Amino acid sequence: MKLKIATIALGLLGTSITLSQAQIKLNSKTIGSATKAVQAVTLSNDDVIAYTKEYITWMDENNPVAPADNELAQRLTKLTSGLTNYDGQTLNFKVYLVRDVNAFACADGSVRVCAGLMEVMSDNEVLGVIGHEIGHVKNMDSRDAFKTALLTSALKDGVSSQGGTAAALSDSQLGELGEQVANMSFSRKQESVADDYGYKFLKDNNVNPWYMSMAFERLQELSGGASDGGAAKKLFSSHPDTGKRVTEMAKKAEKDGFTKPTE
């Protein structure tokens, strides 16, 4: 079974778990020459959000979304209860039943968590990752990265516009867009700001913010199994400062008077 997805934001470590062999993959289609430039492409923030919604709809249709009665879906629903409107953002959450240890968030407030992540992290660690991803949305990182991907992939040849509305993307354009987004990464400063947001997110939800450090610590532990030089190692190597981030979040929690959980 081939799955289609773009991994945005944290770029977490892929690993094998007790799921099927389904794993996140990109659409292998490429953009043909049919799309012709009709006018120069200019994208407003509203355009980017519109394309984001189109993109996440395509993603949900082309990946195995956990049904409402699925154990992981129920777990995520319970974990994110009361968070559909947070910090001025409207959010929605779904689980992808793939073995990748990953999560991503889009500029429209869509947050997607992979089953692999939920299998290897505690609820509070998962919540820390979610907070980090929401931080990228709040700080406009996700929007800006998506806009860049649009202009360098799906829209690089220009699209027509009718009535001021940007043209819809084709399946092949969405596939190439996914590849571009998957290969993008955030700056260290953006990651650091998102880490701080995730830390505050935990505090705001009455969760010990030590779990932000512990989530990164979990990733660091998992990196030891990424010895095949494949996608898992590649994903982890995109964030070489994980150890430093573990330490920084731990020091922040200690300074704020929190004690590290024993679990």
**Catalytically annotated residues:** 133
Which residue bears the tokens 């778990």?
17
- Rounded Cα distance between 211 and 102, Å, is 17
Bridge partners (DSSP) listed for residue 94: 112
Number of Cβ within a 10 Å radius of residue 80: 19
Query: How many CB atoms sit inside 10 A of residue 158's CB?
Result: 14
DSSP state of 95: E
Other residues' Cβ atoms within 10 Å of the Cβ of residue 243: 12
Residue 257 CA, distance from chain mean position: 30
Query: Which residues are within 8 A (CB) of 222 and not within 5 positions of it... i.e. 6 or more apart?
Result: 13, 15, 101, 120, 236
Q: Which SS3 state, helix, strand or coil, does residue 112 take?
A: strand
CA distance 218 to 260: 14
